[in-house]
Amino acid sequence: MHALVYTGTQKIDYRQEKDPTPKPGENIIKVQASGICGSDMHAYHGNDERRIPPLILGHEISGISLDGKYKNKSVVVNPLISCENCNYCQNESEHLCPERTMVGMSTPIKRNGGLAELVSVPEKNIYEIPKNLSIKEAALAEPVAVALHAVLLAEKNLKKPLSECKILIQGAGAIGLLCGLFLNKEKNSSNIIMSDPNKKRLDECEKYLKASFVAPDDKSIKENHFDLILESVGLEITRHQAIYSIAPGGTIVHIGLTQPSGTFNFKKLTIQEVTLVGTYCYTNEDFKNSLAILKDKKLGDLGWIEYRDLKKGSDAFQEIHNGSCIAPKIILTP
């Protein structure tokens, strides 16, 4: 098969690889679509110790199952693999399982991902795609689940309804946009500012989201101003801005993973009773709900997705890296 292989820092090679050999309980998926995620970019930049080259990246996967109970059916993959036996798994918090692993990751065991023509995944992680949902759009289910989980966590921790909140979304990538679409279309929130240094990407998001769109240094991002901040970037500088801009008693939902550490104003967090919530993924229930949301077109037109050939994937990684990419989400098709 052909695959995009992460071979070193800022190196992605399109090359011939061995077809995957399924382990017991696994099925082979003929990939039809696989998205490039922010965590794939962290690996590309050499900043993810969980993804060690050489490795086939990609965990936002849809395709055709070639065997198992879903043989010849259109399916989508939930890439989070949990033990199913621990306290977290037994209490519907499998996303917090200490033994959790993931497709497209090197640790604790190597599992090649979906930026390839074929991928092997556990059958328990395969879902049939609902009717009326295209196989390409189904690849968006994983980031939709991430954004859904983040918005639900925000709602749980806020002191007033989302519809009454002043909201800042940092980052105009897929997660930031999807959070905004949930807020617009499901939570009746429109008092939203989205910030990003990429003006072209902001202009693209403006076609689909009701919000104000500004550069990160815009004067509208004021001190002690926002009830909710969704931090989908994960840089030290964006965290500094989040704690500066959050209102007393407000909530910051931290989703981004770009920089793992750095300074932070814990004094303000403490004195002003700011809630800081970290979130990385989602529950199995969130993933199922994301498929229903996509099937029912609840997020509106998905024209902001750009589809490209897998063999041109290296160029896509480079464009995302240098900030010239306009689309909030690129999905690759073999």
User: Is 291 contained in some domain?
Assistant: no
Determine phi and psi for 273, rounding to 5 degrees.
50, 45
pLDDT of residue 190: 93
Determine phi and psi for 216, rounding to 5 degrees.
-60, -25
Residues 82 and 19 in one domain: yes
Residues 163 and 266 in one domain: yes
User: Is 55 contained in some domain?
Assistant: yes
Q: Look at residues 8, 10, 84, 9 and name the one whose alpha carbon lies nearest to residue 314.
A: 10
| Domain limits for position 204 | 144-278
pLDDT of residue 171: 98
User: Is 293 contained in some domain?
Assistant: no
User: Is 292 contained in some domain?
Assistant: no
Residues 41 and 114 in one domain: yes
Tokens of 131: 């009717």
Residues 162 and 131 in one domain: no
Which CATH number do you get for residue 154? 3.40.50.720
Residues 131 and 34 in one domain: yes
pLDDT of residue 198: 96
Give 114-173 pLDDT, tens digit per residue. Answer: 999 999 999 999 999 999 999 999 999 999 999 999 999 999 999 999 999 999 999 999
Count: domains in the chain: 2
> CA 111 from chain center: how many Å?
19
pLDDT of residue 108: 87
Q: Which residue has the tokens 């071979």?
A: 7
This prediction has a pTM of 0.97
Residues of the chain with pLDDT under 70: none
Which CATH number do you get for residue 70? 3.90.180.10
DSSP state of 168: E
Tokens of 141: 């289910």
Tokens of 199: 């003006």
HSE, CB side, 13 Å, CA atoms: give it for residue 292: 7
Residues 15 and 133 in one domain: yes
